[in-house]
Amino acid sequence: MAPYVLSPLRHLSHMTDSPQTLWGARSRSVTLLVVLLAVIFAGLTGVVQSVLPLLAATAVMAAGTFVSVLLTRRGIEETQRESIVLANLVLDVVVLAALLHFSGGVDNPFTVLYVIPVAVAGMLLPARKALLLALTTALVQSTTMLAELSGMLAHHPIRLAGHELHDDLSATQLWSSPTYVLGYCVAFLLSELGVLLVVHTIMRQLRHVEAERLEHYAVAQSRERMARIGALAAGVAHTVRNPLQGLTSCLDLIRTGNGASAVDPELVELMSEGVQRIERVTRRLLRLAREDATALERTELRPVVDDALRFVECARGERRVPLSVRGGEGLEVRADPAKLSEALANLLDNAIAACTQAGEVQVEMGVQTSDGRAFVRVRDTGVGIAPEDLARVFDPFFTTKPIGEGTGLGLAISRRIVEDQGGTISVESALGRGTEVSILLVAERT
């Protein structure tokens, strides 16, 4: 009947988010359900004298969960989030003490479950706050036990098959011995501190390893970005050369204008167009080189796709694969246009690379009728992906390209960008028939 029977601690592997977010509404809802079912079972089978105190303790835990969820959704700071987690754990210790007291007290074998909130504190909280919870747990258990043994609290024995176990605590020689009671309290405190020390040490090592992994990933991601900048720069020479030559020709015409007092408006327009083309390319270079925080805004989808297409036009050089775009006019999504353009450019680059000999790339945009989300599908008729590789395409550093032609970060980066913007990304492929990558985003209502 402890509030920690099914806490989903397996999510600790996702260390990129704040650890306190693990103590969310879903895990506590599952815990509440388990507690409620255990209480109902105890009442129906007659294990406890009265089920009402147990239901009251469960209601207190539910109220605490509701309040913590409301506070967490307000975007509070990290220290405040830690305080909320600590308050939740203290509340759970008190609820656990109440559940155990009304279902056998010191006779209840589930007193061992006190170590679970201490372990959770060791995972999610700083050492000082985790130590505070361990001391609180030992104090609550010792106080409840001593109060029962001294008669200050009524003893509620466990009933099995109609018989009460240890109905008279004073008849138990061990519990009537002050030395045994003191030793029990000391052993309980040491076990809580031991669990806390072990868990905290393990988590500190895991965080250190995870920090190193994220650092290596950031370095590799930066190298991937620089590689794409290099690919873009190779195409810039061709893309920028034409408008520069146009500007030079216009300047020559103005310079040899035989003293004309006014400049031909057509020349001005040509010069302006050339400057804009150069500016677009350089802006794309700067955007790709920066690592800015995600900033979601109302964004028209078609221009973002067009921007990604301009990038691959520059980056692919002499390689010409037919590209077609369909739909998306007037469709708006909630996204970061710069980062979404980078993600789409990664997908387009992969699609073009997949068309080794012949094939084409299609981009389709629209809105799903099932859930109203906007979609972007990048489809190619290239070589496709083997079934055994399909499940790993989003893994960092996994690539099916030859050595030296890919880092295996394109799809991993794209997935992170899309998920940061509240979207999802999926891949469907078959060998010899091509690949389709689908992005689903939150559509803005007009």
Among 436, 337, 342, which residue's Cα sits nearest to residue 393?
436
Share of the chain above pLDDT 90, in %: 8
pLDDT value, residue 324: 87
The answer to whether residue 404 scores a pLDDT higher than 60 is no
pLDDT value, residue 310: 79
346: phi then psi, degrees, rounded to nearest 5: -60, -45
For the ranges 318-322, 409-413, 432-436, the lowest mean pLDDT is seen at 318-322
Give the pLDDT band of residue 240 (cuts 50, 70, 90).
low
* Contact indicator for 407, 223 with CB cutoff of 8 Å: yes
For the ranges 242-246, 257-261, 435-439, the lowest mean pLDDT is seen at 257-261
The answer to whether residue 330 scores a pLDDT higher than 90 is no
Q: At how many degrees (to 10) do helices 410-420 and 337-354 cross?
A: 150
The answer to whether residue 406 scores a pLDDT higher than 60 is no
Average pLDDT over the chain, rounded to an integer: 76
Candidate ranges 57-61, 256-260, 373-377; pick with highest mean pLDDT: 373-377
Model-level pTM? 0.49
pLDDT value, residue 239: 57
pLDDT value, residue 439: 93
pLDDT value, residue 184: 82
Instruction: State the Cα–Cα distance between residues 355 and 349, nearest whole angstrom.
Output: 10
> Between 3.30.565.10, 3.40.50.880, 3.40.50.1820, 3.30.43.10, what CATH number should domain 294-441 receive?
3.30.565.10
Work out the burial of residue 143: count CB atoms within 10 Å of its CB; fewer than 13 is exposed, 13-18 middle, 19 or more buried.
middle
Give 354-374 pLDDT, tens digit per residue: 887 678 889 999 998 888 899
pLDDT value, residue 146: 86
The answer to whether residue 147 scores a pLDDT higher than 80 is yes
For the ranges 117-131, 190-204, 402-416, the lowest mean pLDDT is seen at 402-416
* Contact indicator for 285, 278 with CB cutoff of 8 Å: no
The answer to whether residue 333 scores a pLDDT higher than 80 is yes
Give me the residue spans of the domains in the chain: 9-176, 294-441
The answer to whether residue 266 scores a pLDDT higher than 50 is yes
List all residues 6 or more positions away from 40 whose beta carbon is below 8 Å from its beta carbon: 51
Work out the burial of residue 34: count CB atoms within 10 Å of its CB; fewer than 13 is exposed, 13-18 middle, 19 or more buried.
middle
pLDDT value, residue 427: 92
More confidently predicted of 425 and 164: 425
Query: Starting from the edge strand earliest in sequence, which strands make up the sheet with 323-326, in order?
Result: 323-326, 361-367, 374-380, 434-441, 424-430
The answer to whether residue 11 scores a pLDDT higher than 50 is no
The answer to whether residue 348 scores a pLDDT higher than 80 is yes
pLDDT value, residue 50: 80
Q: Give how far the C-alpha of residue 376 lies from the chain's centroid of Cα atoms, to the nearest Å.
A: 22
Give the pLDDT band of residue 425 (cuts 50, 70, 90).
very high
* Contact indicator for 343, 413 with CB cutoff of 8 Å: yes
The answer to whether residue 135 scores a pLDDT higher than 70 is yes
List all residues 6 or more positions away from 111 whose beta carbon is below 8 Å from its beta carbon: 100, 141
More confidently predicted of 315 and 139: 139
pLDDT value, residue 301: 92
